[in-house]
Amino acid sequence: MDQSHPTAAGDMGTLAEDARALLDATADMAGEKVAAARERLHAALADTKKIAANVRANAADSAKAMDDAVRENPYQALAIGVGVGALIGFFLARRLSYKGD
């Protein structure tokens, strides 16, 4: 999951750079439609920045809460992890056994 985060962040950064470049490239263009499109794109970029900041804050808060819960109840967290792993293993083994038939 950590590997997908830099890719997603990089893609969002590239998209934002491309949008800014488009805004700069159309700065000297006249026309009502171009101006309206530029305003919508500028607003969308601002909204995207706010959303990204909220997502980052929520992710940090969630990670902190999870860390606190695991530190307060390490044996329960371990048991849950083992149980989830066993269930996933059971279902994968079952699925693979059906494909082998």
Residue 97 covered by a domain: no
- Total number of domains constituting the chain: 1
Residue 98 covered by a domain: no
Residue 93 covered by a domain: no
**68: containing domain:** 4-72
Q: Number of C-alpha atoms within 13 angstroms, CB side, residue 77? A: 9
pLDDT band at 1 (very low <50, low <70, confident <90, very high): very low
53 pLDDT above the threshold of 90:
no
Q: Number of C-alpha atoms within 13 angstroms, CB side, residue 20? A: 9
Q: How far apart are CA 53 and CA 38, in angstroms?
A: 23
Does the pTM of the predicted model rise above 0.75? no
